């Protein structure tokens, strides 16, 4: 197993590890052995789950040799690594990716086939680890995939939630959350290492003491828990490298138990256990409005303290001089969730290693970098000083001191500008004293990056403007990317085969080579094959939705897809108003049904359980869907498909089938988007605003192959500054009025006018995200979509060009940018 202690043993071990035979017979033997000795069952009596677990373990054996080898070489080379600190890793299913990375797909398929087992059935037995909310968590998973593939040493550090993102169900069209018990049937991809557990402390108080003439502080914690590491393999694509993802699970400390046991209270001891284990029990399902809950801060400090201790004490050699830490590591902070690592490392250096403050601070400023993923002010994490001080008293003191010294510098640079000092303070005073985590990360980090060009610009110009003036050299951009292995090669085997047939298979690790497809956009036979693949992907989706959700989807319609978290700024309501408007105009005779392009409007979206408006909108989409799907007047023309529980697995069949990708957030609100990239790379055309990475997608694919609409960010700012009045749009636009009135009439709620009143009222009275202001422009753009879709050949040509010109959005490129601009961690030469 790959913890450092055993790696050291492996280094000394001269016995070669038997390389497993990569033949069908060799695989079959290994698989049956796992079934018999691992699962303890005969093939004849093995359940699908038995077979899946045996297969997973067999595959991981093949990767294991490479994992150990990677760790051994890394230890020898002492190369600089990336520690990607992220509260979320939204991995998706592991089996297929492991098969692809290890090059075992064909051998396994044939071997299983000989035994009468269908690989696809076993694939479907895997429950995906949903250890993330959405884009941010999935980005972390794409990044570690790319780093492994690019031969860059990386450890992903995060939390092994016992329950991931909730399973969404619909009851009468309303979202009901069910726990995601992803571990119930066993998790064959993880390697627990209880012997390497780390103790993490909380609470208590601080005290000063005299240390041979120097006054020092020590933290006397009140309680502690254990962090048990679970290691996961992160295999590179066909390159023999396997990096590590280390997720922490909380357990009660033995000491804690014992103390209470000795006091004779068994029940109390068990309660303590439960209390400790709560820390990694469940992923918080809020993706934008942090609630400031104590347990959440416990989670953050828990995983960060475990990770720092693990890196400093286990990964680095025992005698390592921490002054050289910047040569060995960069801690990338995935949003503010791990930012408490900054005072934690200060505490370790100053209190435990007894460094002076300035030396410690100098190192800190070289080993942390911060990625921001939002522009919404309410999404910026702020911790109440009271809460933070109770849970982590020493860390709060350290934050105060960092702030004092920082503000001294600000005062020096801007004398007599107390307003600015107050604006820039890491500590806010109103409405209560609190710590602004984004500011702390910016002050302490070597770099701050946004996740798309527009986002980074707005960060520097608006959200963190004072800071970009003060530290201009810290601000940079790295546009997000997605892994082509999972989202093209695995998700879209048809398209992958077509591409490889045309330009060879180099594109899988060098996605810019898709450019070579450009001339083929003008090749009629290529376009025919491309279309055929899209159709096949739709048929595959039809099967999946029928089986999974009982949804009947018409594969002969345009598939228009909006999948992402439900959020007002993303504007699912704008898309819904388009559908309602079409329906209203058809049924009232304004629009000739024969002129309407047959479309399936697909939605996939989870709402944060406490986000009432988002849940209302889900209810409304389902209600409109029910009415429209049952109405013979629009049969074969309009339908809504809203499968519950959109997740990575569903994305993998939905995205390759899509014709149209909806990326319609209000300009200036979506930091980047990554779904937008997945669609373009799978040959969907985008209808989108000038927001996030849409801007870059449009620039690359070209205006003629992208349906742009809506206010630009500066226009939004002007409209808002001038005082936005949604009712004026309602009053002056008949189409809009009729659509909204139809909802308000109770048409979709069995005549009950109250049910969706809050949604309509919110749009009419507040409409924070300017849905009504962009409505007409959106409808016009949808008319352009229809016109373009009518010319099948031209549409296919645009789709091919979208694929050919989207190579930039590989997460391999994002990683190269991080390496060049922030990390400076060269790949390991595989021949060294
Ligand atoms: O991060 C998303 C952005 O909205 C999206 O534009 C971007 O493409 C993506 C990757 O950079 N942000 C999130 O997904 N955010 C969260 O999931 C989140 C989770 C917990 C929080 C706050 C935000 O406390």
Residue 292's pLDDT is what?
77
The catalytic residue among 328, 436, 565, 705 is 565
Active site residue 446: no
Q: Which are the contacts of 51, defined by CB distance < 8 A and separation ≥ 6? A: 35, 117, 122, 125
Dist. CA 251–CA 217, nearest whole Å: 28
Average pLDDT over residues 432-436: 98
DSSP state of 154: E
Q: In the predicted model, is pLDDT for residue 6 greater than 70?
A: no
Residue 177's pLDDT is what?
98
Question: In this structure, are residues 189 and 176 in contact, taking their beta carbons and an 8 Å threshold?
Answer: no
Note the pLDDT tens digit of each residue in 512-535.
999 999 999 999 999 999 999 999
Active site residue 615: no
Q: Which are the contacts of 536, defined by CB distance < 8 A and separation ≥ 6? A: 494
Atom of ligand 1 nearest to the CA of 139: 10
Average pLDDT over residues 578-588: 98
Closest residue to atom 8 of ligand 1, CA basis: 673
Note the pLDDT tens digit of each residue in 69-108.
999 998 899 999 999 999 999 999 999 999 999 999 999 9
Using CB distances shorter than 6 Å, the residues near ligand 1 are 133-136, 139, 286-288, 290, 373, 379, 451, 480, 670-674, 692
Dist. CA 649–CA 97, nearest whole Å: 12
- CATH class assigned to 489-809: alpha beta
Active site residue 564: yes
Residue 771's pLDDT is what?
99
Closest residue to atom 12 of ligand 1, CA basis: 136
Split at pLDDT 50, 70, 90, the class of 9 is very low
CA of residue 228 to ligand 1 center, whole Å? 27
Q: In the predicted model, is pLDDT for residue 7 greater than 80?
A: no
CA of residue 373 to ligand 1 center, whole Å? 5
Atom of ligand 1 nearest to the CA of 88: 19
Angle, helices 771-790/572-587, rounded to nearest 10 degrees = 70
Atom of ligand 1 nearest to the CA of 671: 6
φ, ψ dihedrals at 479, nearest 5°:
-70, 135
Residue 15's pLDDT is what?
41
The total number of residues written for the chain in this structure: 832
Q: Give 733-736 contacts, CB < 8 A, sequence gap 24+.
A: 733/772, 733/775, 733/776, 735/581, 735/585, 735/776, 735/779, 736/577, 736/581, 736/772, 736/775, 736/776
Split at pLDDT 50, 70, 90, the class of 831 is low
Active site residue 686: no
Residue 793's pLDDT is what?
98
Atom of ligand 1 nearest to the CA of 670: 6
Active site residue 689: no
Q: Give 27-30 contacts, CB < 8 A, sequence gap 24+.
A: 27/58, 27/104, 27/107, 27/108, 27/111, 28/111, 28/114, 28/115, 30/58, 30/61
3-state SS class at 661: strand
Active site residue 489: no
* Residue among 44, 121, 81, 33 at smallest CA distance from 826: 81
Q: How far is CA 435 from the centre of its chain?
A: 25
Split at pLDDT 50, 70, 90, the class of 609 is very high
CA of residue 377 to ligand 1 center, whole Å? 13
Angle at 800 between CA 796 and CA 805, to 5 degrees: 145
Q: Which are the contacts of 763, defined by CB distance < 8 A and separation ≥ 6? A: 573, 726, 740, 771, 772
What mean pLDDT is reported for the chain? Answer: 95
Ordered DSSP codes for 182-194 = TTTT--TTEEE-G
Note the pLDDT tens digit of each residue in 354-413.
999 999 999 999 999 999 999 998 889 999 999 999 999 999 999 999 999 999 999 999
Cα Dmax for the chain: 90
The catalytic residue among 347, 373, 575, 615 is 373
Please indicate whether the domains covering 78-93+128-479+817-823 and 489-809 agree at the CATH topology level.
yes
Residue 89's pLDDT is what?
98
Q: Which are the contacts of 320, defined by CB distance < 8 A and separation ≥ 6? A: 328
For the chain, what are the domain ranges? 78-93+128-479+817-823, 489-809
Closest residue to atom 20 of ligand 1, CA basis: 287
Split at pLDDT 50, 70, 90, the class of 474 is very high
Split at pLDDT 50, 70, 90, the class of 12 is very low
Note the pLDDT tens digit of each residue in 37-52.
999 999 999 999 999 9
CA of residue 134 to ligand 1 center, whole Å? 6
CA of residue 355 to ligand 1 center, whole Å? 36
Closest residue to atom 17 of ligand 1, CA basis: 287
Which contiguous run of DSSP H or E holds residue 739? helix 734-744
Q: Which are the contacts of 54, defined by CB distance < 8 A and separation ≥ 6? A: 31, 34, 35, 38, 39, 46
Dist. CA 712–CA 721, nearest whole Å: 14
Residue 268's pLDDT is what?
78
Q: In the predicted model, is pLDDT for residue 758 greater than 50?
A: yes
Residue 253's pLDDT is what?
86
- CATH class assigned to 78-93+128-479+817-823: alpha beta
Residue 517's pLDDT is what?
98
Note the pLDDT tens digit of each residue in 221-276.
999 999 999 999 999 999 999 999 999 999 998 766 667 667 778 787 788 788 89
Whole-complex ipTM: 0.98
C-alpha distances out from residue 485 to 96, 97, 652, 679, 696, Å? 10, 8, 11, 14, 22
Tokens representing 558?
A: 């345009």
Atom of ligand 1 nearest to the CA of 337: 24
Note the pLDDT tens digit of each residue in 105-138.
999 999 999 999 999 999 999 999 999 999 999 9
- Where do the DSSP E strands lie in 521-654? 558-563, 599-604, 638-641
Average pLDDT over residues 630-656: 98
DSSP state of 827: P
Ordered DSSP codes for 448-479 = EEESSHHHHHHIIIIITHHHHHH-GGGEEE--
Split at pLDDT 50, 70, 90, the class of 832 is low
């Amino acid at each position: 197993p790959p913890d450092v202690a055993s790696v050291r043993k492996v280094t000394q071990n001269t016995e070669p590890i038997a390389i497993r035979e990569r033949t069908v017979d060799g695989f079959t033997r290994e698989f049956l052995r796992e079934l018999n000795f691992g699962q303890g069952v005969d093939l004849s009596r093995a359940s699908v789950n038995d077979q899946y677990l045996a297969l997973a373990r067999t595959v991981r054996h093949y990767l294991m040799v490479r994992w150990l080898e990677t760790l051994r070489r890394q230890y020898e080379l002492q190369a600089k690594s990336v520690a990607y600190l992220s509260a979320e890793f939204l991995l998706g299913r592991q089996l297929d990716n492991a098969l692809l990375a290890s090059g075992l797909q064909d051998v396994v398929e044939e071997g299983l086939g000989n035994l009468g087992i269908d690989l696809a059935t076993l694939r479907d037995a895997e429950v995906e680890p949903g250890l993330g909310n959405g884009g941010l968590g999935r980005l972390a998973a794409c990044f570690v995939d790319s780093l492994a593939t690019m031969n860059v040493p990386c450890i992903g550090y995060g939390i092994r939630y016992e329950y991931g993102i909730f399973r969404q169900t619909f009851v009468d069209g309303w979202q009901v959350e069910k726990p995601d018990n992803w571990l119930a049937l066993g998790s064959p991809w993880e390697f627990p290492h209880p012997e390497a557990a780390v103790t993490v402390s909380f609470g208590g108080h601080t005290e000063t003491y005299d240390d041979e003439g120097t006054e020092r502080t020590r933290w006397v914690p009140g309680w502690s828990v254990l962090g048990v590491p679970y290691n996961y393999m992160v295999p590179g694509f066909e390159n023999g490298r396997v990096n590590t993802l280390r997720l922490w699970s909380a357990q009660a400390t033995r000491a804690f138990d014992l103390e209470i046991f000795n006091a004779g209270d068994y029940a109390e001891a068990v309660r303590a256990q439960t209390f400790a284990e709560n820390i990694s029990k469940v992923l918080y399902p809020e993706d934008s409005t942090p609630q400031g809950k104590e347990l959440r801060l416990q989670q953050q400090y828990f995983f960060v303290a475990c990770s720092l201790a693990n890196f400093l004490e286990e990964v680095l050699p025992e005698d390592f001089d921490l002054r050289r830490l910047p040569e060995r590591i960069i801690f990338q902070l995935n949003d503010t969730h791990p930012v408490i690592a900054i005072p934690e490392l200060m505490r370790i250096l100053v209190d435990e290693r007894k460094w002076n403050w300035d030396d410690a601070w100098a190192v800190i400023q070289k080993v942390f970098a911060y990625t921001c993923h939002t522009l919404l002010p309410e999404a910026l994490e702020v911790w109440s000083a009271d809460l933070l001080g109770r849970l982590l008293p020493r860390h709060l003191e350290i934050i105060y001191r960092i702030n004092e010294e920082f503000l001294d510098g600000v005062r020096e640079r801007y004398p007599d500008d107390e307003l600015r000092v107050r604006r820039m303070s890491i500590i806010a005073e109103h409405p209560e004293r609190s710590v602004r985590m984004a500011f702390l990360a910016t002050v302490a980090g070597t770099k701050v990056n946004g996740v798309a060009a527009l986002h980074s610009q707005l960060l520097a110009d608006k959200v963190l403007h004072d800071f970009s003036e003060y530290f201009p050299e810290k601000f940079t951009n790295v546009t997000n990317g997605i892994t082509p292995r999972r989202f093209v090669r695995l998700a879209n085997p048809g398209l992958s085969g077509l591409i490889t047939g045309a330009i060879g298979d180099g594109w899988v690790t060098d996605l810019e080579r898709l450019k070579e497809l450009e001339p083929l956009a003008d090749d009629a036979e290529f376009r025919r094959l491309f279309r055929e693949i899209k159709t096949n992907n739709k048929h595959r989706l039809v099967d999946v939705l029928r089986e999974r959700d009982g949804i009947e989807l018409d594969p002969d319609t345009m598939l228009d897809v909006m999948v992402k978290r439900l959020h007002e700024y993303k504007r699912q309501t704008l898309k819904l108003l388009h559908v309602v408007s079409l329906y209203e105009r058809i049924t009232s005779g304004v629009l000739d049904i024969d002129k309407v392009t047959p479309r399936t409007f697909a939605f996939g979206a989870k709402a944060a359980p406490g986000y009432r408006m988002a849940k209302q909108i889900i209810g409304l989409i389902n209600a409109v869907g029910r009415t429209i799907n049952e109405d013979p007047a629009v049969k074969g023309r309009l339908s809504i498909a809203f499968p519950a529980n959109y997740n990575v697995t569903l994305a993998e069949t939905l995205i390759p089938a899509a014709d149209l990708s909806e990326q319609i957030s209000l300009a200036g609100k979506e930091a980047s988007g990554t779904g937008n990239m997945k669609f373009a790379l799978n040959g969907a055309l985008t209808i989108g605003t000038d927001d996030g990475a849409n801007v870059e997608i449009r620039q690359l694919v070209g205006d003629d192959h992208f349906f742009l609409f809506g206010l630009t960010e500066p226009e939004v700012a002007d409209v808002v500054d001038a005082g936005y009045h949604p009712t004026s749009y309602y009053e002056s636009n008949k189409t809009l009025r009729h659509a909204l009135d139809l909802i308000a009439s109770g048409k979709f709620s069995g005549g009950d006018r109250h049910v969706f009143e809050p949604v309509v009222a919110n749009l009419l009275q507040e409409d924070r995200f300017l849905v009504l202001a962009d409505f007409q422009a959106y409808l016009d753009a949808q008319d352009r979509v229809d016109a373009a879709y009518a010319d099948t050949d031209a549409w296919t040509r645009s789709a091919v060009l979208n694929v050919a010109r989207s190579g930039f959005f590989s997460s391999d490129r994002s990683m190269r940018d991080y390496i060049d601009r922030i990390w400076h961690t060269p790949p390991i030469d595989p021949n060294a």
